[in-house]
Amino acid sequence: MDLVVRPGSVWAERVAGELAGRLAARPSLRICLPTGDTPVPVYDAVVALVADGACSFEGATVVLLDEWVGLPPGDPARCDTRIRAQLIDRLPAPPAAVHVIDADDPWPGAAAARHDVEARNLDLVVLGLGLNGHIGFNEPGSRPDDPTRLVRLAVSSREAAVARYGATRVPTAGITVGLARLLEAGECWLLVTGERKARILRRALEEPEGPDCPASYLRRHPRLTVFADEAAAGLLRR
Ligand code: PGA
């Protein structure tokens, strides 16, 4: 595992620079992206790098990490709404493909199974860290061999949909790329910022792995890089 710690003032630019480098090295990059608040400044910085000509998403395939079930199309909390507003719609040339999750399918389990196919052969997965140790909607109790699937959401996640992301109603469930797909990707990045994530980051990286903290399984990945700002890294013994 590589741990990259930077001051909050330059953290996003550092991650964005790495991402631009991956895109430049492999224009057909297959990349799985999250839509929490953590990556927002990274997307801002990447959009600026694209505008400067440092990289392009034109040949890339973007695969969405997760989605709420039970929110109407266009809801501000929907992950497809957010990724388009924060990244995709700001690019001068769209990615070759964007695979969102069809949470409106009357059989969301079938939509999850279809997304599991898109989530194979990823070159890079970019992840945020939940305060309860979740990764995407791999909530506590998840296992490292879990596929992309329909999941029951933790109460904290249902509350966050409304309180943090402005959902117009409480979602009933979620669909998430499973830990099995994340662990088999070519490279895995965990993005963590802010003092409020310091305790769970220490739990994920320095205490025994286990289903109470799904993020702890990421340590099995042979090419895991944790990008933390100084506040989030504050409790690590390093
Ligand atoms: P955040 O969410 O990036 O908005 O903190 C991360 C998560 O809960 O997965």
Of all protein residues, whose CA lies closest to atom 2 belonging to ligand 1?
Answer: 36
Mean pLDDT (whole number) for 199-213? 98
Specify the residue for token string 């199974």.
Answer: 113
Rounded to the nearest whole angstrom, what is the distance from the C-alpha of residue 129 to the centroid of ligand 1?
A: 6
| pLDDT at residue 138 is higher than 80 | yes
- 174 within ligand 1 shell (Cβ under 6 A): no
Please report, in angstroms and rounded to a whole number, the separation of the first and last CA atoms in the chain.
Answer: 13
Rounded to the nearest whole angstrom, what is the distance from the C-alpha of residue 132 to the centroid of ligand 1?
A: 10
Tell me the percentage of the chain whose pLDDT exceeds 90.
100
Rounded to the nearest whole angstrom, what is the distance from the C-alpha of residue 226 to the centroid of ligand 1?
A: 15
Rounded to the nearest whole angstrom, what is the distance from the C-alpha of residue 78 to the centroid of ligand 1?
A: 14
Ligand 1: which atom is nearest the Cα of residue 131? Answer: 8
Rounded to the nearest whole angstrom, what is the distance from the C-alpha of residue 154 to the centroid of ligand 1?
A: 13
Average pLDDT, the chain: 98
Of all protein residues, whose CA lies closest to atom 7 belonging to ligand 1?
Answer: 130
CB-based contact 188:218 (threshold 8 Å) = yes
- Distance from C-alpha of 145 to C-alpha of 208, rounded to nearest angstrom: 18
Mean pLDDT (whole number) for 148-157? 96
Tell me the percentage of the chain whose pLDDT exceeds 70.
100
Tell me whether residue 134 is one of the annotated catalytic residues: yes
Tokens coding 27: 């224009």
- 36 within ligand 1 shell (Cβ under 6 A): yes
- 128 within ligand 1 shell (Cβ under 6 A): yes
Phi, psi (deg, nearest 5) at residue 2 = -105, 135
Instruction: Give pLDDT tens digits for 62-89.
Output: 999 999 999 999 999 999 999 999 999 9
Ligand 1: which atom is nearest the Cα of residue 39? Answer: 3
Among residues 104, 123, 132, 187, which one is catalytic?
A: 132
| pLDDT at residue 157 is higher than 90 | yes
Tell me whether residue 66 is one of the annotated catalytic residues: yes
- Distance from C-alpha of 76 to C-alpha of 28, rounded to nearest angstrom: 29
Instruction: Give pLDDT tens digits for 22-71.
Output: 999 999 999 999 999 999 999 999 999 999 999 999 999 999 999 999 99
Mean pLDDT (whole number) for 211-216? 98
| pLDDT at residue 238 is higher than 80 | no
Ligand 1: which atom is nearest the Cα of residue 132? Answer: 8
Instruction: Give pLDDT tens digits for 174-200.
Output: 999 999 999 999 999 999 999 999 999
Quick check: helix, strand or coil at residue 132?
A: coil
Tell me whether residue 139 is one of the annotated catalytic residues: yes
Rounded to the nearest whole angstrom, what is the distance from the C-alpha of residue 140 to the centroid of ligand 1?
A: 14
- Distance from C-alpha of 174 to C-alpha of 152, rounded to nearest angstrom: 6
Specify the residue for token string 């890079």.
Answer: 124
> In the prediction, which pLDDT does 178 show?
98
Kindly tell me the sign of the dihedral angle through the C-alpha atoms of 176, 94, 81, 200: positive
- Distance from C-alpha of 32 to C-alpha of 78, rounded to nearest angstrom: 16
Specify the residue for token string 């994530």.
Answer: 197
Ligand 1 site-directed mutation target among 125, 127, 129, 157, most atoms within 8 Å of CB: 129
